[in-house]
Amino acid sequence: MYVKHFSLAHTLLIAGALAGMALAATPSRAQNDPPMGSARLAHLEGNVSIQPYGVDDWGQAYSNMPASSGDRFFTDQGGRGELQAAQVRAYFGPNSDLTLVNLDYISVNLGVGQGSFNIFSDGFQPGHGFSVQTPNGAILTAGRAGFRVDVYADQQTTIITNYPNESVLTLQGGGDFRMILQPGESIQLTGTNPVYAQPLQPAVADGFEQWSNTLETRRFNSISARYVSQEMPGYDELDAAGDWQPQSDYGPIWFPRVEAGWAPYHYGHWVHIPFFGWSWVADEPWGAAPFHYGRWVVAGGRWGWIPGPREGHPVWSPAQVVFAGGVSFGGGGVSVWFPLGPGEPYKPWYPCSNQYIDQINITNIHESRVVHVQTTYVNIVNVTNVTNITYVNRTVGVTAMRQEDFAAGKSTRSVAAVKIDPQQLAHIQPAAPAARPPAQPVILHPVAKPAAAPQQRPVLINSKGQQAIAAPNAKPVPVPVKSAPPAPRPIPGRVAIGTPSVGGKPVAPTAVAAKPAPLAAKAPAPAVQPAKAPAPPVAKPPVQAAAAPVKATPPAKTPTPVAPEKAASRPAKAAPAPATKPASATPETKPATKTEAKPASTANNGKKKPEPANKDEKKEEEKKPE
C-alpha cells in the first residue's frame, strides 16, 4: 500500500493538478486502447436470451453479465431488462430484439430490430458519439439525450419520440433522408428509400415506460451519488445493499451488508471478453461498481469499498485485483487473486497505452489523509521487482481455483476450494492470468425457455444512411430505391398531426387518409445476406399499452426535414459538493422514510421529469437524463 503523510495544502494542490491532468488526458488516448467503458446486463425480468457474437447458439442471460460488440439480446412476451454500455442505458421491453453493434473507445452503436426501447445517454465528449440503428433510419446524438423507440417489424415502421428537455436528435436514412427531431416531438418512419415520415402526437407513458423511468428516478435520487461519480454504472444499486461512512482515513467507505466470512471477488466466475480478456462476474447483484472500480480494505473488522474521486470520468477495469504469479498447488496450474488495497497500483493484463495505465489508476484511487495519488503509474507497474508495495489484502482476501475450472467459467461456489500456503504469498509478483482463453465464446447457461427470436439478424440503417446487418464491421450497402410507401397504418394510441413527407418532400394532408396497407403485409426481404442463427423465425410486434384516450392538447410542432445540425457537446457535469458530516465510526444509513419516486404521466406526453429527493439535488435536476 502506498502511504504518505503531507499537509492539507499539499493535498489540495496535488488533487487539483491530478484532476486537471486526468481530464486533459482523456481525449488523447491511443486508438489501440480498450473501449471507453463497459457493457453489462441489469434488471432482467422474465425470459431474456443472448446470442454472443461469433456463435449461432443462444444462451440464458443473467444480471451483471458482461456484453461485447456484436452480442444480441431477445426477450419473450414477459421479458424485459437493461443494457448499460458506457454512458448509455437502453431499457428493452417484451418481444424486443436488441444488438450491441459496436462499443469502442470513441462510440456506442446499438441496433434495434423489433420491440420497445427507452434509451438515455449522459452525453459524450467531443469527437465521441452515440447512434441507434433501426430498420427505417438511424438516430444520432452526442449530447445528453432521452428518447423512446418502437419498432413494428411486421409493418416496416419505426416510431421515435424525443423526450422534452433533452438534446435534439438527428435522424438519417436512405435516399439522403435527414431530419432534426426536437425535444417533445414524435415521428413515425415507414419504408427505407424513400422514407415516409409522419409527425405524431407524443403518447401517454405505458407500463414499460413507467418501469424504466422508475429505475432512472432511483438512479437520480441515489444516496451513493454523493460519494461516487455519476458516470459509474451501477452506483445506485449500492443504496439498498450497504451503508456509507462519509469520513475515514481513506475517504468515504461503503460497507456491504454480507454474511460472516464474506470477501470481495470470492463469489462469482471469470469470463473472457474482447479487448480486456478475463473479466470478473460477481454473484452479488450490486457488483457492477465495487468490483470494477476503486479499492477494498478491511476497516473495523469488516470489508469496505473505497471509490475513486467523485469528479472526472472513472475508467472501468475487468477486475481491480492482483493475480499472483509463481503459485503452485498439487503439481497443477492454479489461478490466485486478491483485491487491491488503498493506493495500490493496478497493472492491466491486456494491451493498453501508458496514458491508459495512468488514467485507470488515477481515477480509481482516492486522495486521502494516508493515501497519495501518484502523477504517473507507468514506471510502478512496469518494474520487474516491486519491493515497496505490501499488498495489504494478500493474506485476508485470497481466492484460488484450478486453472481448468477458471477457464471453463465455473463458479467459485461450485468447485472445491483451493487452499494456498500463506508462505507462497509473502513475496508475490503480479502476473497476468495464466488460464488460456476458450477458442470461441462459451454458453455458460443454456436457454431455459427458448424465445421466439427471428432466425436472421436484422438488417438496419446505419449512421450514414446505408443498410447493413446488425453486427460489428458488417459491410454496408446503399439502400435500394423502391416505390413510395403508402401512408402507414394507424398505431393504436397514436395520433397523426402536421404534414407528412416522402423522401423529404411534403405530402398533401389528404394523402394521410390513404387506404392502409393489408394486415398481413410482409416485411421486405433484406438487401444484404444475413448471418445465420438457429432460433425459429417468429417475430412479434412490440408491446403496446392499453389504448388510453389522449386528451385534447394543442398540436405539437411538426418536425421539418433539414440539414443535420452539429451534435451537442457533452454537457458540463453537475457535481454539487456533498454535505460533510463529523467523523464517526457509525456508517451513514439510508433514511427509512425514503421511497423511490415514480415519474407521473402528463396528458401531453407522459414524460414528467423526476423530482429530486431533496432540495440540494434540485440544482442539478435540469442536467440529468430521464
Q: What is the pLDDT of residues 555-596, one digit of tens each?
A: 445 554 443 333 333 334 444 444 444 344 444 444 444 444
- Residue 185 makes CB contacts below 8 A (sequence gap 6+) with 161, 162, 199, 202, 556, 557, 559
At residue 466, what is the residue type? Q
Instruction: Kindly state whether residues 368 and 456 are assigned to the same domain.
Output: no
**Is 567 a domain residue?**
no
Q: Are residues 494 and 519 in the same domain?
A: yes
Lowest mean pLDDT segment, chosen from 301-305, 335-339, 350-354, 563-567: 563-567
Flag the least confident range among 122-126, 364-368, 558-562.
558-562
Are the CB atoms for 521 and 154 separated by under 8 Å? Answer: yes
- pLDDT (tens digit per residue) in 422-474: 777 777 778 888 888 887 777 777 776 666 788 889 999 999 999 999 999 99
Going from the C-alpha of 536 to that of each of 61, 455, 462, the distances in angstroms are: 18, 5, 26
pLDDT of 622 reads 44
User: In the predicted model, is pLDDT for residue 501 greater than 50?
Assistant: yes
249 and 369 Cβ atoms separated by less than 8 Å: yes
With a pLDDT cut of 70, the percent of the chain lying above it is 73
Least-confidence region, from 114-123, 174-183, 617-626: 617-626
Highest mean pLDDT among 282-296, 330-344, 392-406, 526-540: 282-296
| Residue-wise pLDDT tens digits, 4-35 | 433 333 333 333 443 443 333 444 556 678 88
* Position 138 in a domain: yes
Under the banding of pLDDT at 50, 70 and 90, the label for residue 294 is very high
Domain identity same for 405 and 469? no
Residues 202 and 240 in one domain: no
Closest Cα to residue 63, out of 86, 92, 42, 83?
42
In a domain, 321, yes or no: yes
| 262 and 367 belong to one structural domain | yes
pLDDT digits (tens, 9 = 90+) for 306-326: 999 998 889 999 999 999 876
- State the residue range of the domain holding 254: 8-27+236-430
CATH code, domain with 498: 2.60.120.1440
Please give the Cα distance from 53 to 529 (Å, whole number): 17
Q: At 327, is the pLDDT very low, low, confident or very high (cuts 50, 70, 90)?
A: low
Q: Which of 73-77, 417-421, 469-473, 553-557 has the lowest mean pLDDT?
A: 553-557
Over residues 285-303, the mean pLDDT reads 96
Are residues 419 and 488 located together in one domain of the fold? Answer: no
Buried b vs exposed e over 167-195: b needs ≥16 C-beta within 10 Å? bbbbbbbbbebbbbbbbbbbbbbbbbbbb
Indicate the residue among 430, 464, 498 that finishes a domain: 430
Cα–Cα distance for residue pair 134/146, rounded to 1 Å: 16
Looking at residue 261, the DSSP 8-state letter turns out to be: T
Q: CA-to-CA distance for 114 and 238, rounded, in angstroms?
A: 33
- Domain annotation covers residue 389: yes
What local confidence, expressed as pLDDT, does residue 269 receive? 95
Last residue of a domain, one of 430, 465, 491: 430
Residue 373 belongs to some domain of the structure: yes
Q: How high is the pLDDT of residue 448?
A: 67
421 shares its domain with 508? no
Average pLDDT of every residue of the chain: 79
Which pLDDT does position 74 carry in this prediction?
A: 96
Is there a single domain that holds both residue 382 and residue 474?
no
pLDDT of residue 64: 92
pLDDT at 530: 37
Tally of domains within the chain:
2
Can you give the three-state secondary structure of 364-409, one letter per residue?
A: CCCCCCCCCCCCCCHHHHHCCCCCCCCCCCCCCCCEEEEHHHHHCC
Residue owning grid cell 491508459: 356
Comparison of pLDDT for 330 and 106, the residue scoring more: 106
Q: Are residues 21 and 103 in the same domain?
A: no
Is pLDDT at 249 greater than 70 in this prediction? yes
- Condensed to tens digits (0 to 9), the pLDDT of residues 393-418 reads 988 999 999 988 999 999 999 988 78
- pLDDT (0 to 100) of residue 383: 65
3-state helix, strand, coil in the chain (%, to 5): 15, 25, 60
Q: Could you write out the DSSP letters of every residue in 232-244?
A: STTGGGGTTTEEE
- Co-location of 127 and 265 in the same domain: no
120 in a structural domain? yes
Whether residue 264 lies inside any domain: the answer is: yes
Same-domain check for residues 114 and 62 = yes
Q: How confident is the model at residue 386, as a pLDDT?
A: 53
Lowest mean per-residue pLDDT among 222-226, 250-254, 429-433: 429-433
Residue 606: pLDDT above 50?
Answer: no
CB atoms inside a 10 Å sphere around CB 250: 21
* The residue to which cell 414499460 is assigned: 208
Answer whether 428's CB lies under 8 Å from 325's CB: yes
What pLDDT digit, counting tens, does each position of 511-547 carry? 444 343 333 333 333 333 333 344 433 444 444 433 3
- The predicted pLDDT at position 145 comes to 95
Q: What is the SS3 assignment for 116?
A: strand
Q: Is residue 356 situated within a structural domain?
A: yes
pLDDT of residue 29: 55
Cis omega (within 30 of 0) for bond into 433:
no
Instruction: Looking at the structure, tell me whether residues 458 and 395 fall in a common domain.
Output: no
d(CA 106, CA 128): 5
